[in-house]
Structure 1
Amino acid sequence: MTAPSPSPAPEPPNAPSPSQSPSYEVWAVAGMPEVRPGDDLARLVADAAPGLRDGDVLLITSKIVSKAEGRIVRADSREEAIDAETVRVVARRGPLRIVENRQGLVMAAAGVDASNTEPGTVLLLPADPDASAAAIRAGLRELLCVDVGVIVTDTFGRPWRAGLTDVAIGAAGVRVLDDLRGGTDAHGNPLSATVVATADELAAAGDLVKGKAEGLPVAVVRGLGHVLGEGASAAQLVRPAAEDMFRLGTSEAVREAVTQRRTVRAFTAEPVDPAAVRRAVAAAVTAPAPHHTTPWRFVLVESEGARRELLDAMRDAWIEDLRRDGKSEESIAKRVRRGDVLRNAPYLVVPCMVMDGAHTYGHARRDAAEREMFVVATGAGVQNFLVALAGEGLGSAWVSSTMFCRDVVRKALGLPEDWDPMGAVAVGRAAEAPRERAPRPADPFITIR
């Protein structure tokens, strides 16, 4: 790299020639004036860097783009500005908010920034950074007759990494991603997951010479003309939600899992990973319980023979009960068909309650209350289990039928007499997307005294 000057520094002794080793130059553009609302950025850059060549890439700090576009608000409106620019809150710690903003970027404070702007003001990000980059590129083509790439940059923190770096939030004329999948490395190994974020790498290179406090908002990279290309935009750098394993903050992930837990009655034939079920059980047994007990037992019905024996025995017991109730054979057949959710799911779990450690009072009311405590604790464990399954991407349906024939279930599964089956859970991949659930506000379920 060179000093902040458009002329490359002298080569060190024994430096490889360009024909021997790939190389590029990067320098900050000196002489940029203070940018005001309404300024023509392309003209300001052209005046400061008249020697731009075809194939150069400009790295332009988003702050001067925001200033030129009038994206300035009063500092006392910063929190309101963050709210207005926020689509969703990803994480929060004290006053700090990590949010997804209107441009689809996940970043601190929606990109609303108080640095490098006049006292008493803050800057919003450009409304459409890709369009801003395209306008600057078109202006430079007209003013200097050059074909350059333009990247609008901003400073980001990164998950799991200390420190800040510049990344591309807008681009024009640059291939923002270099997809190497399908190729091979130097040893002939296939590249199956390598997609290089070229625009982000260029942004970081520019930041090394622009700095954060030197008042040098524009840099030029020369020697990488192969990265230029049409039709790309920085929006392509934002990972689609469906592919983003780390999209949610901790509290948002919990809320998402709870709200996305839905009763699924139609499953695909895709097998369920038993390890995922065991992880859900591990979450289930963190539920609260009375007297420091552990009242939960989860029977994982993984054997097809055990599953068939259980469901056949439950069906026969149910039919017998319905006949005793005087139901017609047609009515019985319909009811049995509705119970096929357990039979059609690829995986079956039977949660059970045990009352080891329960207190005995010799008083009917108090003994009944003791059992109720264990039932509530078991229900909390089952809810944990269902939510954890949702977090694993699995659908589920809790069905109460085992509670009506506990002796039959214990016999079919070979369970101890003190294990009380508390329903059954069908587990699998949902065959179709769940219907939209109408919002359910909390107020109707709250009483305040």
Structure 2
Amino acid sequence: MSAGPADTAPSYRVWALPGMPEVRAGDDLAKLIAATEPGLADGDVLLVTSKIVSKAEGRIVQAEDREAAIDAETVRVVARRGTLRIVENRQGLVMAAAGVDASNTPAGTVLLLPEDPDASARLIRDGLRDALGVDVGVVVTDTFGRPWRNGLTDVAIGAAGVKVLDDLRGGTDGFGNPLSATVVATADELASAGDLVKGKAAGLPVAVVRGLGHVVADAPEEGARAMVRVAADDMFRLGTSEAVREALNLRRTVREFTDEPVDPGAVRRAVAAAVTAPAPHHTTPWRFVLLESEKARVRLLDAMRDAWIADLRRDGRGEESVARRVRRGDVLRNAPYLAVPCLVMDGSHTYGDERRDTAEREMFVVAAGAGVQNFLVALAGERLGSAWVSSTMFCRSVVREVLDLPDTWDPLGAVAVGHPKGTPPARAPRDAGAFVTVR
């Protein structure tokens, strides 16, 4: 294959390597490749299908139940739809079925991926250097689907002697524009080129690329592991239902925040999630007052503190007890952002019956609570910490006056919002069965 019309243009060749025998457990892949008289030269890149690496390393296991084998290789389920699972496997790769393959292997068995594909690539590279005296790069490949794109392609899961990523950031393009985000996945491009000539069923598990010696020369020994995006940088780490469960798990009461400002847009997105909660009579019983200025927050909290102190003194609390209880409200004062969710009864029914009118209000309170829960979970999804504090419910008239709210708005506490300082302690496990009664 040529990438240019003339000898002077950049070009490369890629061809499948014929003559590879059936690979068995314990085979030395470097020796098998060398025995085909491949004519390798310094700077070539060898593309080796992971299946033969797995076979040579004895990664064939008896497994009548492929699903059980997938379970054993799975570290984390990313997304699930029916029987299809996208998971993170033991190698840190996110892929379908953990890479467990039931094709090209005897019935009743499955192939697992190599335990350490980078180490496998290094072993083949060192073996070829010893057998043939050549300095080549080696890429171990496997077939992946891709988010947002139909079809499969080969990618690199292991590499040795190859520059797996070409970081162009800091340079400029042909028009002089700065490159600030361009990191080329060189090893994946090589894997895809090899797949075009190896094929999926042609019995040609090895390919050679020649003419791209610059990706071999001075290549760091970082391996293909460097291509796996770390969790902190992965914007699409979870599938839909898994993301909801993870957000629920992340929803913790956070009492200490950093000084990093809160993105108002993130809070508004959380409000948009809040108002999708169910409500009676097709009503919208939620209102959110967002206190984005320090002046507004201090004015409200000072007024609430004064009202609280007055209440505590009327209850006969001593000054030490009053001071201790007031300090508990510091979580609101220390937060860089506050939200005050409110309940409105617009659209509610009046029955003239105390029992039914009480039940009507309770329905609206439940709906408002569902909205607040949506709000807290959505904040967690935005990687924002929060603490729902009930203080405003004890001085609603004060809150309405300070925030200039209608008399029909009932504050339902205040939500402190900010970036968590540190990691909250692990939540104590709860047995869901202890909260369930079945009839």
- Normalising by structure 1, report the TM-score: 0.95
User: Quick one: which amino acid aligns to residue 252 of structure 2?
Assistant: R
1:304 and 2:319 matched: no
Change (3 A) 1:274 1:262: same
Match of 1:317 in 2: 307
Instruction: Look up the SS of the partner of 2:417 in the other structure.
Output: strand
User: Quick one: which amino acid aligns to residue 220 of structure 1?
Assistant: V
Instruction: Look up the SS of the partner of 1:370 in the other structure.
Output: helix
From 206, 210, 228, the counterpart of 1:238: 228
Match of 1:136 in 2: 124
Instruction: Look up the SS of the partner of 2:64 in the other structure.
Output: helix
1:260 and 2:250 matched: yes
User: Quick one: which amino acid aligns to residue 395 of structure 1?
Assistant: G
From 170, 173, 189, the counterpart of 2:177: 189
Question: Which deviates further from its counterpart, 191-200 or 181-190?
Answer: 181-190
Contact 1:56 1:149 (8 Å CA) reproduced: yes
From 209, 215, 229, the counterpart of 1:227: 215
**How far does residue 447 in structure 1 lie from its aligned partner after superposition?**
1.7
User: Quick one: which amino acid aligns to residue 430 of structure 2?
Assistant: R
Aligned equivalents of 1:223, 1:333: Cα separation in 2: 76
Question: Which deviates further from its counterpart, 314-323 or 181-190?
Answer: 181-190
1:167 and 2:150 matched: no
Contact 2:63 2:69 (8 Å CA) reproduced: no
Contact 2:274 2:375 (8 Å CA) reproduced: yes
**How far does residue 210 in structure 1 lie from its aligned partner after superposition?**
0.6
**How far does residue 73 in structure 1 lie from its aligned partner after superposition?**
2.4
Contact 2:17 2:38 (8 Å CA) reproduced: no
Instruction: Look up the SS of the partner of 2:158 in the other structure.
Output: strand
Deviation beyond 3 Å, 4+ runs, structure 1: none
Question: Which deviates further from its counterpart, 356-365 or 148-157?
Answer: 356-365
**How far does residue 312 in structure 1 lie from its aligned partner after superposition?**
1.4
From 180, 190, 205, the counterpart of 2:193: 205
Aligned equivalents of 1:166, 1:86: Cα separation in 2: 21
Instruction: State the identity as a percent.
Output: 79
Deviations, residues 179-222 of structure 1 (Å, cap 9, x unaligned): 11112222222111111111111101100111111111000001
From 37, 42, 45, the counterpart of 1:49: 37
Match of 1:439 in 2: 429
Within-5 A mapping of 1:339-354: 339-354=329-344
Match of 1:8 in 2: none
Contact 1:352 1:419 (8 Å CA) reproduced: yes
Aligned equivalents of 1:119, 1:220: Cα separation in 2: 31
Deviations, residues 229-256 of structure 1 (Å, cap 9, x unaligned): 2412111110011111111111111011
Aligned equivalents of 1:182, 1:235: Cα separation in 2: 23
**How far does residue 53 in structure 1 lie from its aligned partner after superposition?**
0.9
Match of 1:294 in 2: 284
Aligned equivalents of 1:180, 1:230: Cα separation in 2: 16
1:248 and 2:238 matched: yes
1:29 and 2:11 matched: no
Aligned equivalents of 2:60, 2:386: Cα separation in 1: 49
- Normalising by structure 2, report the TM-score: 0.97
Match of 1:148 in 2: 136
From 106, 115, 120, the counterpart of 2:94: 106
Aligned equivalents of 1:142, 1:303: Cα separation in 2: 69
Instruction: Look up the SS of the partner of 2:203 in the other structure.
Output: coil
RMSD, aligned α-carbons: 1.4
Match of 2:375 in 1: 385
User: Quick one: which amino acid aligns to residue 195 of structure 1?
Assistant: V
User: Quick one: which amino acid aligns to residue 365 of structure 2?
Assistant: V
1:281 and 2:271 matched: yes
Aligned equivalents of 2:68, 2:294: Cα separation in 1: 58
1:408 and 2:394 matched: no
Contact 1:291 1:358 (8 Å CA) reproduced: yes
User: Quick one: which amino acid aligns to residue 416 of structure 2?
Assistant: A
Aligned equivalents of 1:50, 1:218: Cα separation in 2: 10
Aligned equivalents of 2:393, 2:328: Cα separation in 1: 17
**How far does residue 121 in structure 1 lie from its aligned partner after superposition?**
2.8
**How far does residue 75 in structure 1 lie from its aligned partner after superposition?**
5.0
Match of 1:7 in 2: none
**How far does residue 303 in structure 1 lie from its aligned partner after superposition?**
3.4
User: Quick one: which amino acid aligns to residue 258 of structure 1?
Assistant: L
Match of 2:69 in 1: 81
**How far does residue 316 in structure 1 lie from its aligned partner after superposition?**
0.8
From 73, 96, 110, the counterpart of 2:84: 96
Contact 1:210 1:216 (8 Å CA) reproduced: yes
Instruction: Look up the SS of the partner of 1:154 in the other structure.
Output: strand
From 38, 46, 71, the counterpart of 1:58: 46
Instruction: Look up the SS of the partner of 1:91 in the other structure.
Output: strand
Deviations, residues 244-287 of structure 1 (Å, cap 9, x unaligned): 11111111110111111111111112111111111100000111
5+ long unaligned stretches in structure 1:
3-10
Match of 1:6 in 2: none
